[in-house]
Amino acid sequence: MAVQLKSSTFQPANPQPIIHIRPMRLEDLEQVHTIDRASFSMPWPESSYRYELLENPNSRSWVAVTNASDDNQPVTGVVVIWLIEDEAHIATIAVHPEYRGQGISRELLAFALSNVIQEGARLATLEVRANNLIAQALYLRFRFEIVGRRPRYYRDNDEDALIMTADGLDETYLRWLVSGGWKK
């Protein structure tokens, strides 16, 4: 397989700053936590992200930032994936509200999946709120399928979670990701 991608740069569809995807750093935690709180009714505590960075050997964490050459890079999005054997579990993905609708989540997901496939992932899975149709559309674009339901999974409102899985993450899927097949 190809060499693992360490970072990626792209120009969003709207005339916005260039977005760069890179590994998450400790100094990103405050901004990552801000995005998490703005995105989810049950956000992770900042300590969970610290754990992912420093203690969880299965965790792969990336952020999208603007102005990649600037020392003060605003974090616009985040993705955390747990790679266990050949399974990638998408633990969280979120984009700052001011940057939504620009394709950042798609770029983050494509980048992260490309990386974990190159590390041996053959299956990707996640839970998504049953009412979160925007997130479901994102995952369907990447060939995830609904394979199950977890009743009353979310404690804040007893909403069900849909289990979505993308199987067969092989060299063909990787080429499709890298070539931007998911953009069509």
Q: Which entry of 49, 99, 139, 173 is annotated as an active-site residue?
A: 139
Only one residue has tokens 């400790």, namely: 26
The strands making up 123-129's β-sheet, listed across from edge to edge, are 8-10, 19-23, 59-66, 75-84, 87-95, 123-129, 159-167, 145-154
Q: Which entry of 49, 99, 107, 127 is annotated as an active-site residue?
A: 127
CA 161 from centre of chain: 17
Active site residue 173: no
∠ CA 80-69-57, nearest 5°, is 25
Side-chain-facing half-sphere of 48: CA atoms under 13 Å: 11
* CA gap 74, 43 in Å, rounded: 20
Structure letter (DSSP) for residue 27: G
Active site residue 49: no
* CA gap 181, 21 in Å, rounded: 19
Catalytic residues: 127, 139
